[in-house]
A = this chain, B = another copy of it.
C-alpha cells in the first residue's frame, strides 16, 4: 500500500508518542504535528479505514500491527538518509534531520535497499538511534552509554544525544566520530570524569556528563 506524505507524517508521529503512553489522544497528536485537533479527527478516520490503527471516538487510538510496520518503514528511510547525509555528504548531526524529513517520503523500495547496501548496512543513525530492518522490525538495541561500558573493553561510537555546540566542539577536537574505536581506561568518581582512549588519541579525560551522551556498541558494525 502507498501513503501520502501527510498520512506518513501522522503515522510516524503516532508511533513516536505511543512509545511512552499506552494510548494517544487527539490534543496531544495535534500538538506534536503542529496542527489542530479537528484535523486529527479527520485523518484518524482515514487511517482507521485503511486499517492502520485501533480507534474508538473519544477513546484514544494506537497503531495496530500493520500501522507499526508502516511507521518503522518510514523511520528506516529517515534514518538511512540521515546516515547518508552525515557520512557521505558531511552534514553535521544537527543538520540532517530536516532534510531527511523530506527524503523519507520518496517511496521506491529498491532505492532504499540499494542505499542501505551502499552505506554498508548501518545499524544506527548519526543520533545513535537504531535503523529498523527491511522487514520493518526494530532490532534490539545492543548499544549502551559510554559511562556504562566496562573498563578496557573496546567499543565503537554509534551516536550522541547531545548536539549542543559545546559537545560537537568537544567531539571534533578529540576526533570522535561515528565508528571511532573507543575504550574507557579509568573512572574518576571523585570529580565525575572518565579517562578514555580512542584509536586516534593518547588517553584523555572528559566529564561524565559528556560521556553519558555518547553511545557505543560492542560488536563491529555488520
Query: Interface residues, chain A, CB within 8 Å of chain B?
Result: 85, 88-91, 95, 98-99, 102-103, 106-108, 110-111, 114-115, 118
- Establish whether residues A99 and B106, one from each chain, have CB atoms under 8 Å apart when the complex forms: yes
- Establish whether residues A107 and B102, one from each chain, have CB atoms under 8 Å apart when the complex forms: yes
Q: Which of B89, B95, B108, B114 contacts A90 (CB 8 A)?
A: B114
- Min distance, Cβ A104 to any Cβ of chain B, angstroms: 10
- Establish whether residues B102 and A115, one from each chain, have CB atoms under 8 Å apart when the complex forms: no
18 other contacts beyond A85-B111, A90-B118, with CB at 8 A cut-off?
A88-B118, A89-B111, A89-B114, A89-B115, A89-B118, A90-B114, A91-B110, A91-B114, A95-B110, A98-B108, A99-B106, A99-B108, A99-B110, A99-B111, A102-B106, A102-B108, A103-B103, A106-B106
- Min distance, Cβ A122 to any Cβ of chain B, angstroms: 15
Residues of B within 8 A of A111 (CB): 85, 89, 99
